[in-house]
Chains A and B, each alone.
Chain A
Amino acid sequence: MAVLRPGARLRSVTCSTEVVVVRAGGEVDLRCGGQPMVDVSALAATAGEPAPGFDGGTQIGKRYGDEETGVEVLCTKAGSGSISLGDVVLNVQGAKPLPSSD
C-alpha cells in the first residue's frame, strides 16, 4: 500500500508498462501484471511474466482508474500486464471526446 503523488512515474516489474499518476486517491495497492508497481527509477529486479488473469495488457495513452478510491493513472508506455488495485483489474476510463480548440 502506498499513497501516490500526482505526476509520479511508476513502472511495472513484470512487463514494459509505465504510468504517470493523474489522480492520487489515497492509500492504494497499485499493481501491474499482479505485482506492485515501483518508481520508474527503482533498480528492483524484474519479476518474471504477468500473472494469469493480470495479463490483458496496457495501451499507451489510455487512462486506468477506479471510481471508489478516485485513483487514476495514464499509461505512458504499453506492456503485456494489466493494471490492478490489489486483485481488482482497472478498466480503461471512457474517453470524453471534446472538440479540438487548438
Chain B
Amino acid sequence: MILEMAADGLAERVAIGPLDGGISFAELGRRSRRAASVLGELPGEHVVLIDENSLAVPIGLFGAAIAGKPFVPVNYRLADDRLGAIVTKVAPAVVICGQGVPDRISGIEGLEVMERHDFLARTDDEALEERDGWGCDPDAVAVLLFTSGTTGDPKAAVLRHRNLASYVVSTVDFGAAEPSECAIVTVPPYHVAAVASVLSNTYGGRRVVQLETFDPERWVRTVRAEQVTNAMVVPTMLGRILDVVETDRLGLPSLRALSYGGGPMPVAVVERTLRVLPHVDLVNAYGLTETSSTIALLGPEDHRNAVASRDPEVRARLGSVGRVLPGIELSIRELDGTAVPTGTRGEIWVRGEQVSGEYVGSTVTDDEGWFHTRDAGHLDESGFLFVHGRLDDVIVRGGENLSPGEIEEVLVSHEGVESAAVVGIPDQEWGERVVAAVVPLPGASLSEEELRQHVLARLRSARTPERIKIVNELPFNENGKLLRRVLREELAADFAF
C-alpha cells in the first residue's frame, strides 16, 4: 500500500540515491513488483537479508511484502554459530546476502541463496512479470526482527502489516516532504529504525541516500555532498560525528533535522550538539522493536525551551524522550499492575495499533492489550516521559532498588568523563553492590577516589559506586546498545574479593 501510493502519487521524484542518477518512486515500485515475482516463485516461507545497507533493503522489504512472505533482516556481524542458529529457525527461506555470506550458511538445509548483486540485477530485468503491488492481508506478518539480545537467546519480534501501516499513516503526511529534502540512512538493515525509515521516507516522499555501514568521516562527507537535510543516529554515532565536525570546522550547512534514539543519550552530548549545530532541529525518538519503532518524541521546540529555561523542571526535559505519539496510550505501572502517581517511577506500559508486543510463538500483550515494555520510566506533570533503562538492569542493593541511569548521569556530569556505565555485581552481604566503568575524555586524568567523591556529593552513599574502573571503552553492540551483561562479568572478575 505504502509503495503503491508513492509509485502512483510521487512517480518521478527520486526515491533512493543521488538527485542525478538515483531511482524514482515509480522505478522503486517496478523493481519491487519484479522482486516479488523472483521471491514469490522460489520455495521458502521467509525472505532473509544478511547484508549491509543497499538498494536491496527497500526492494527486498517491499518485494517480500508483495510476495506475501515475511522479511527477516539478520545481523551479518553475528558469529557464524549464532547466524546459523537464526537462519535455521527461519528456513525454508530465500536468502539475499552480501559477499562471503553464502559460505557461512552453506550447511543449512532449505535455503535459496542469492547474492545481492544477482538479486538486484534480476529486479532490473524488464522481461520479468510485475506482480500486483498492493501487498497482502493487513494481519499477515510483514517483518521478523531478531531482537539484539543483550541477554540470553535472540527472540524474533513479529511486526504485522497493520502495525507498520498504522505507525506510518499516523505519523507521516503522505508526500509532504519538499523536493529538496534528503535523509541519510546508516542504521543497519536489521534494526527496527531501518525498517521504519524505508517506510516513512517512501510514504513521505523523501529522497534517501544510504551508507553501507556507519563511518563518521564518510557520513559527514556524504551529508555535505548530497545536501542531506534529515538524519537519524544512535547515541554512539552522534559523538563521533560531532568530533569530525568540530575538528574540520566546516559545519553541516544543509542539515535541518537530526533525530536520535535507540538508547539513552547523555544530556551532555545533546547540549554539545545544540552548541556545535545550532541551526539543526533535534528530535529524540523513543521506541522499541516490539512497538514498530517510535512511540514518543521530544521535538525541536522542546529541546530549545529546555535549554533556554531557568525552571529546573523544564530544563530536565532535555533528558526526557518527550510526549507519546497520538494513537499511543501509555501508562506507568507498579510491578503488581497498579498505576503509579505522576512523577513516580514504574514500568512503562503501552498500547495502540502500532504496538505488536508479539514474538514468534508468543503474544506478550495482556488481556487489555497492554505491552509491558520492561523499561523503567516516569511521567512529569506535563506528560513528558523519562526512561530509566531496563527494569532487568535495576540494581538491588540491600533490598533497595537503584537505577543505573541515575548514577551514570552523575558520573558523566563530571568534566573529565566521556561515558560511564553502572552495574550491580554479586555481593554476599548486600545481594548486589554498585560498581562502575568510566571512559575519560581525551587528555583528562581521573582517579577512582575523585569520581567517588563526585557521586557522593550528589547522591546518597548507597548509590555511590564502591569501585570504579577507568577504561578505554565500554562494551557496546553495533547499535550502540551497552552490553551490560558483558560489563557485569568483567567487573565482577576485576572487583572480586
Chain A contacts to B: CB under 8 angstroms: 6-7, 9, 20, 22, 60-63, 74, 76-78, 95-102
Contact = CB atoms under 8 A, between A and B. Distances in A.
Interface in B163-221: 165, 169, 171-176, 183, 193, 196-197, 199-201, 203-204, 206
A85 B204 CA distance: 28
14 contacts: A60-B174, A63-B169, A76-B1, A78-B9, A97-B173, A97-B176, A98-B299, A99-B281, A100-B206, A101-B232, A101-B259, A101-B293, A102-B199, A102-B259
Contact of B326 (A9, A96, A102): A96
Nearest to B167: A102
Contacts of A78: 9
Nearest to A62: B174
A76 B175 CA distance: 12
Contacts of A7: 138-139, 162, 165
Nearest to A63: B169
B173 A102 contact: no
Most chain A beta carbons < 10 A, residue from B172, B176, B232, B259: B172
A100 B204 contact: yes
Nearest to A60: B9
Contact of A102 (B193, B300, B325): B193
Contacts of A6: 138, 162
B244 to A, nearest CB: 23
B464 to A, nearest CB: 36
**B contact face: mostly helix, strand, loop, or mixed:** mixed
B294 interface: yes
B8 interface: yes
B173 A61 contact: yes
Nearest to B285: A101
A58 to B, nearest CB: 12
B4 interface: yes
Interface residues of B, number: 42
Nearest to A22: B169
B257 interface: yes
Given A102-B196, A102-B293, A60 B5 contact: yes
Contacts of A9: 134
Contacts of A76: 1, 4-5
A63 B134 CA distance: 18
Interface of B: 1, 4-5, 8-9, 134, 138-139, 162, 165, 169, 171-176, 183, 193, 196-197, 199-201, 203-204, 206, 230, 232, 257, 259, 261, 281, 283, 285, 293-294, 297, 299-300, 325-326
A101 B297 contact: yes
User: Which 9 residue pairs of A and B lie closest in terms of their CB atoms, listed nearest first?
Assistant: A61-B174, A101-B285, A7-B138, A102-B200, A60-B9, A102-B197, A101-B259, A101-B294, A99-B299
Most chain B beta carbons < 10 A, residue from A9, A22, A95, A100: A100
B383 to A, nearest CB: 15
Given A20-B1, A74-B169, A77-B8, A100 B326 contact: no
B325 A98 contact: yes
Contacts of B232: 101-102
B297 to A, nearest CB: 6
A99 B297 contact: yes
A60 B7 CA distance: 12
B294 A102 contact: yes
A42 B109 CA distance: 42
B316 to A, nearest CB: 20
B200 A60 contact: no
B175 A100 contact: no
B173 A95 contact: yes
B230 A100 contact: yes
A100 B259 contact: yes
A98 B139 CA distance: 26
Most chain B beta carbons < 10 A, residue from A6, A61, A99, A101: A101
A95 B176 contact: yes
Given A60-B5, A61-B5, A76-B1, A98 B171 contact: yes
A101 B283 contact: yes
Contacts of A63: 169
A99 B175 CA distance: 15
Contact of B261 (A22, A96, A101): A101
Contact of A60 (B8, B139, B283): B8
A93 to B, nearest CB: 11
Contacts of B9: 60-61, 78
A98 B281 CA distance: 12
Contacts of B230: 100
A30 to B, nearest CB: 18
B62 to A, nearest CB: 15
A17 to B, nearest CB: 12
